[in-house]
Amino acid sequence: GQQVMQIPQYQHVQEGEDFTTYCNSSTTLSNIQWYKQRPGGHPVFLIQLVKSGEVKKQKRLTFQFGEAKKNSSLHITATQTTDVGTYFCAGGYGGSQGNLIFGKGTKLSVKP
């Protein structure tokens, strides 16, 4: 079945360092979405990528979608303590109901 693998599971960085999390799907995706869940909170939508090779930026966050539409990455430049949380990728496979398969998430901690 469809699976979305996400690495690393945990990442501890010093404030100001960069951070990257990677997602890989076993099959071609129609789209990929990224969510952030703060400690004690619920997932909040960050962005959706649809096109092969697409790159989108949100301030210090850069999202990429692979050419084969099977992998994606989220890169944060110069992390801040406000970036703390778990980042999930979620793969869409084109179902009419918009089901998503979530990766296990990468928990980011930032040391001030």
Q: Does 85 bind another protein (CB under 8 A)?
A: no
In the numeric block, which tokens belong to residue 77?
A: 């430049």
Q: Does 101 bind another protein (CB under 8 A)?
A: yes
In the numeric block, which tokens belong to residue 44?
A: 């909040």
* DSSP letters for 42-108: --EEEEEE-STT-EEEETTEEEEE-TTSSEEEEEESS--GGG-EEEEEEEE---TT--EEE---EEE
Q: Does 91 bind another protein (CB under 8 A)?
A: no
Q: Does 102 bind another protein (CB under 8 A)?
A: yes
Work out which of 11, 25, 31, 71 binds another protein, going by CB under 8 A: 31
The nearest distance, CB 43 to another protein, in angstroms, is 5
Question: What residues line the site for another protein (CB under 8 A)?
Answer: 1, 31, 33, 35, 41-45, 48, 88, 92, 97-105, 107
